[in-house]
A = this chain, B = another copy of it.
């Protein structure tokens, strides 16, 4: 028996080549990936209900004409995804919480300036509310943390990269003060996507322009900080919204100025 039925893959690859000679990466799914895809679809579509038992490894081997290695690797992948759980000596079952897949934003979705602005918009919606909640709920410890983050930003004014980190730290401290762990989690997640791009934008400027830019950012930070200290939720919301809208504007400007290729 041919150990690897690449016939299908080869056909796909050739077809792609005729359409575009520049084709850099023929996907050419492996058997394992194929099986993962099939099982995942069956689970997500509900054909395999939560709690249902998957066919045994032997049956899957027979039905699909693959080796146990392939089946086991596929199941391992699904288990890593949290879609199935296996019990030695019993079988493999569809996870009870298979329905709510993890939320994820791929880097491929962020190839255009418009998409990045969309992401910043999403972030803004969360942070404005976080600022308002922080104004209502902040404790003394949160205020100390906020002040410390502001000071850290001041200290980092001269170093563009460190300043971007400190900037994010200030925002995280606000999310912490909001007293809702979900806000912190989401912000961290989005931050990892946005920060690198922001950092590059900042560092592309001259040192003098960097400092001027960062001073402006810091002034907006202080406005947010003051509103939170004053327990003025609407003001905090407005200050954060204004801050992030200007941030979007700055990004739009810098992206437009330094060529069309977003990073």
Contacts and interface: CB of A to CB of B under 8 A. Distances in A.
Contacts of A133: 121
B122 A125 contact: no
A182 B97 contact: no
A104 B99 CA distance: 12
Contact of A126 (B72, B101, B104, B126): B126
A181 interface: yes
Contacts of A88: 30
Contacts of A180: 118, 121-122
Given A73-B73, A77-B79, A104-B102, A122 B189 contact: no
Nearest to A79: B77
Contacts of A101: 189
B104 A97 contact: no
Interface in A168-186: 180-183, 185-186
Given A99-B192, A102-B103, A129-B128, A186 B81 contact: no
A219 interface: no
Given A76-B77, A81-B81, A126-B126, A97 B107 contact: yes
A36 interface: yes
Given A69-B72, A76-B73, A193 B118 contact: no
A182 B193 CA distance: 13
A216 to B, nearest CB: 24
Contacts of A32: 76
A102 B102 contact: yes
A80 interface: yes
A181 to B, nearest CB: 7
A128 B125 contact: yes
B124 A129 contact: yes
A66 interface: no
Interface string A52-94: 0000000000000000010011101111110000001000000
Nearest to A182: B122
A181 B107 contact: no
A105 interface: yes
Pairs of residues from A and B, 4 with the lowest C-beta to C-beta distance, nearest first: A125-B129, A77-B80, A102-B104, A73-B76
6 contacts: A97-B107, A100-B193, A102-B103, A118-B182, A122-B126, A125-B183
